[in-house]
Structure 1
Amino acid sequence: IQNLIKYLNLFFLTVSGLKAEHTDMYRCKIEVFYPPPYLSLTGNGTLIHVLGETPTHDIRMLRCMSTH
């Protein structure tokens, strides 16, 4: 992960240099420590299917929605 950006209730992260063996189901996990009570939330998942290696200058964006 190169960077993580929060905008309103969305989180964006950038990944690069993916290879075919990175194809998998990825889930977003958010832990809210404050304000109490503690919450641990896990998303439904996003399937990332990589057909080949991506150049390092390619940007792939994933979105994880937050209710907080």
Structure 2
Amino acid sequence: MAEDGAWAGHVDLGSLALADRWADLAVATWSTRWNYGPGWEQPLLDAYGIADDPARTAYHRLLWDAGP
């Protein structure tokens, strides 16, 4: 938003849609390893307030690796 409250722009809305939250969480937790090292996946899920779901995580990580 601009200083006067007017719309100033947007960021990364190209794939905006309703989807399984694990599509984002699987990659977000994965990226904690890349950026901070091991041990940060569970704290992220705890902060989000959701229990780990290994099956969904694996599924969405495979989709991420498969690409567009």
**TM-score normalized by the length of structure 2:** 0.24
**Larger proportion of helix:** 2
State the structure with bigger RCO (CA 8 A, min sep 6), 1 or 2.
Answer: 1
Q: Considering only CA atoms, is the larger Rg found in Structure 1 or Structure 2?
A: 2
**Larger proportion of strand:** 1
**TM-score normalized by the length of structure 1:** 0.24
